[in-house]
Amino acid sequence: MTAGPPGGRYGEAVFPPGQAGEGERIDFGALAYDDVTMARLRALGAGPGWQCLDVGAGTGTVARRLLEEAGVAGVLAVDRDVRFLGERPGLEVLRADVTGPDFAPGRRFRLVHARFVLMHLPERERVVAALAEHVEPGGVLVLSDAVDLTSDRAPRTPYADAMRAMWQGLRATIGTDVSWVPSYPQVLRAAGLGSVAAEVHVPPLVPGSPISRFWADTWERSRAAMLGTGLVDDAAVDAAVRYLDSAECAALSAGMLTAWGRKPEDAARG
Ligand SMILES: C[S@@+](CC[C@H](N)C(=O)[O-])C[C@H]1O[C@@H](n2cnc3c(N)ncnc32)[C@H](O)[C@@H]1O
């Protein structure tokens, strides 16, 4: 058996759901990205009659909007921890680890959606193949994850230093890896899906905006992992939080890459 990441998995040493404010942190991310996600899902046809699977559903904002705005027939919202998922007509909640061998929803879906989940999972290639199995013929698999836009040539700012330390620290502790995200279109092709395409959205880092608050909160919660890289100290993280909230801030947020692919109509029915 191979050893897992030293910090355990997402939700264990880093981002435990029981820590005060973790639901609010997820909601800041959702506020920054939900409109873009919903526009894409609706453009792909999500609407009346659709049965949907939302993987790693978090606080359930996408599941809720699929039901209330897009008018889909039902959403199965799956998460390792379902404490933030409420009850509403059409919403079915399942506590499960999607990497586990026993994750078997028992039916196929017109839409399978996973946002900001796969990048945290070490077994991501196998999980994408398994998620493709849960898509019905003619249905779509939609994956969204972060793309890091702080290159080695980006100017040194408190923000860029903190971002580098965060990605490196999360990779070293819980195995998060965003370097793989730009290859999602090819990964979807390899999983047997067609009509593959992708887009990137970068929310503006305006002081006080949901995305700025999301990063500041994310740094607080991953501070130990960031310090462990040796790239930043406490003062540097504090400076980055102040920088994000200041008129000096001039930086690019990580983007959200969304890639999708459709299962051929003639694929075998399960
Ligand atoms: C960053 S949050 C994203 C939540 C939501 N998808 C969104 O975009 O607002 C990641 C979510 O994935 C869940 N998660 C992480 N690993 C998981 C796994 N192996 N199986 C099921 N859910 C998982 C976490 O509990 C958390 O709710």
Pocket flag, ligand 1, residue 60 (CB < 6 Å): no
pLDDT at residue 269 in the model: 64
User: In the prediction, which pLDDT does 101 show?
Assistant: 81
- pLDDT for the residue numbered 9: 84
Q: Is 237 in the pocket of ligand 1 (CB under 6 A)?
A: no
Q: Which domains does the chain have, with CATH numbers?
A: 22-262 (3.40.50.150)
Q: Is residue 146 within 8 Å of 131, Cβ to Cβ?
A: no
Q: What pLDDT does 1 receive?
A: 40
With 0.75 as the threshold, say if the pTM is over it.
yes
Q: Report the alpha-carbon distance of residue 214 to residue 87 in Å, rounded.
A: 25
The pLDDT value recorded for residue 25 is 85
Which residue owns the Cα nearest ligand 1 atom 18? 97
| Residue having the nearest C-alpha atom to atom 2 of ligand 1 | 58
Decide: 30 in ligand 1 pocket, CB within 6 A: yes
What would you report as the CA-atom Rg of the chain, rounded to the nearest whole angstrom?
Answer: 18
Average pLDDT along the chain, 270 residues, taken 10 residues at a time: 66 84 88 96 98 97 97 97 93 94 91 97 90 97 94 83 95 93 96 97 95 95 95 97 95 96 84
Q: Does the Cβ of 139 fall within 6 Å of ligand 1?
A: no
**Of all protein residues, whose CA lies closest to atom 20 belonging to ligand 1?**
97
pLDDT at 3: 57
Q: Could you write out the three-class secondary structure of the chain?
A: CCCCCCCCCCCCCCCCCCCCCHHHHHHHHHHHHHHHHHHHHHHCCCCCCCEEEEECCCCCHHHHHHHHCCCCCEEEEEECCCCCCCCCCCEEEEECCCCCCCCCCCCCEEEEEEECCHHHCCCHHHHHHHHHHCEEEEEEEEEEEEECCCCCCCCCCHHHHHHHHHHHHHHHHHCCCCCCHHHHHHHHHHCCCEEEEEEEECCCCCCCCHHHHHHHHHHHHCHHHHHHCCCCCHHHHHHHHHHHCCCCCCCCCCEEEEEEEECCCCCCCC
CA of 156 to the centre of ligand 1 (A): 31
Ligand 1: residue whose CA is nearest its atom 1:
116
Residues 6 or more apart whose Cβ sits within 8 Å of residue 11: 17, 80, 81
What's the pLDDT score for residue 184?
Answer: 97
State the closest ligand 1 atom to the C-alpha of 54, by its place in the atom list counted from 1.
6
